[in-house]
Chains A and B, each alone.
Chain A
């Protein structure tokens, strides 16, 4: 393993293969709990912990897990880490834990985590899987924070509870309601599509349909 690939493993998750913005995985938490920055941070950190923990464990057990039951084995490993994260959050930040509610448990079925186990940790060394998980975890946190910041600032006029626009601001309530989540992520993805098109105007064919196909394959 050369220096370049190690850096690649770490950095690809941040932007080039960002799990949310490019691979469109893990949509449920991205849309459901991003109505305040506080929730986003808690969710991001919890997912990061679960992702890194299970990637390391899966890659170190990769020669022991029989191929037929690998998915079940991954899910049990992931569920164990999620239970730990759930208990820690409940003990440390009970208010946020209550707001996130069932969505902490739903980290188990976050496709990002299972996809990384299946696509990377199951085939690579512990160190490379660790770097990959850290990169992907940070990529997820970045995407969550972007969503949260846009939704909380526009929908509530605050950032982490501090007022941004002053008392005369009329909040766009819709942004913190469910449709706002769809709109924010939708327009972000559209902006990214338009931007990458401007940068590389030639290959017009590999477009979102291929991306959804890849996503499905990754999940299967």
Chain B
């Protein structure tokens, strides 16, 4: 139980997917304009991450034992089809939600966070529950980073900054500052 909790907190704060491990930066830079879209994207991320963690732990347990060199191809195909299935299911069950998530769902396939989760889960040998905690924590961490960045950028849009600073460059500098702050969490587990 302690292990599961540790994995959860560590993947959310200490090793935040976006700010410390640099996973899932494309949506972080692309769709962090508004807090609302940030939350939605984060929820979609959490959903796909958890599904992936479950699929990956089954793959590792039952399929890839005999063919480890197929790992990467198996992961990416499973993730891509998973996202496709989720997309079709949402389209059928709730067209409103589908319209709102729209572009973000297919984007998640190429989100490095999802494949990164699968690779790290494998290389660290997490079991089923640790994998789940890793996915949940990582997803919440992604959402936290997205929402933090989006709220900063909403304020930035209203402020009168020099126009040369209104670009990806400045967002990266801001992300650096956030990352610096998140490094402070490294002290949580020293004892």
Of all chain B residues, the one with the shortest Cβ separation from A108 is: B76
User: Does A76 interact with chain B (Cβ within 8 Å)?
Assistant: yes
* Chain B residues, Cβ within 8 Å of A204: 163
B112 with A106: CB separation less than 8 A: yes
Interface residue? B91 (CB, 8 A): no
The CA of A88 and the CA of B112, in the complex, are separated in Å by: 22
A160 in the interface, Cβ–Cβ < 8 Å? no
Identify the stretch in A24-32, A38-46, A129-137, A150-158 within 8 Å (CB) of chain B at 4 or more residues: A24-32
Q: Please provide the chain A residues from 36 to 94 with a CB less than 8 Å away from any CB of chain B in the complex.
A: 71-72, 75-76, 79-80, 82-83, 86-87
Given contacts A111-B110, A197-B164, contact A216 B103 (CB under 8 A): yes
Question: Is A95 part of the contact surface with B, judged by Cβ < 8 Å?
Answer: no
Contacts of A212 in B (CB 8 A): 29-30, 168
Q: Do A24 and B29 form a contact, CB below 8 Å, given A79-B76, A179-B183, A182-B172?
A: yes
Determine whether the beta carbon of B169 is less than 8 Å from that of A189.
Answer: yes
- Check A105 against B169 for contact (C-beta < 8 Å): no
Q: How does the 8 Å CB contact mask read for B27-57 relative to A, with 1 for contact and 0 for none?
A: 0011100000000000000000000000000
A-side interface residues, number (CB < 8 Å): 54
**Contact check: which of A32, A190, A192 meets B22 at CB < 8 Å?**
A32
- Find out whether the CB atom of B110 lies under 8 angstroms from the CB atom of A208: no
Contacts of B176 in A (CB 8 A): 179-183, 186
Roughly how many angstroms separate A189 CA and B73 CA in the complex, as a whole number? 34
Q: Say if the beta carbon of A4 comes within 8 Å of chain B.
A: no
Interface residue count on the B side (C-beta < 8 Å): 49
- Secondary structure at chain A's binding surface: helix, strand, loop or mixed? helix
A188 within 8 A of B: yes
> Which residue of chain B lies nearest to A197 when distances are taken between CB atoms in the complex?
B164
Contact B167 A190 (CB under 8 A): yes
**Is A24 touching B168 in the complex (CB atoms < 8 A)?**
yes
Which residues of A pack against B, CB within 8 Å?
A: 24-25, 27-28, 31-32, 71-72, 75-76, 79-80, 82-83, 86-87, 101-102, 105-106, 108-111, 114, 174, 177-183, 185-194, 197, 204, 207-209, 211-212, 215-216, 219-220
Chain B residues engaging chain A, CB cutoff 8 angstroms? 19-26, 29-31, 69, 72-73, 76-77, 80-81, 103, 106-107, 109-112, 114-116, 119-120, 123, 163-177, 179-180, 183
Additional 20 contacts, C-beta under 8 A, given A106-B23, A186-B169: A24-B168, A28-B23, A31-B25, A72-B77, A79-B76, A106-B112, A106-B115, A106-B116, A109-B110, A179-B176, A179-B180, A182-B176, A186-B172, A189-B168, A190-B165, A204-B163, A207-B166, A211-B167, A216-B103, A220-B106
A-B contact pairs, 8 of them (CB 8 A): A106-B112, A109-B110, A109-B114, A177-B183, A182-B172, A207-B163, A216-B30, A220-B107
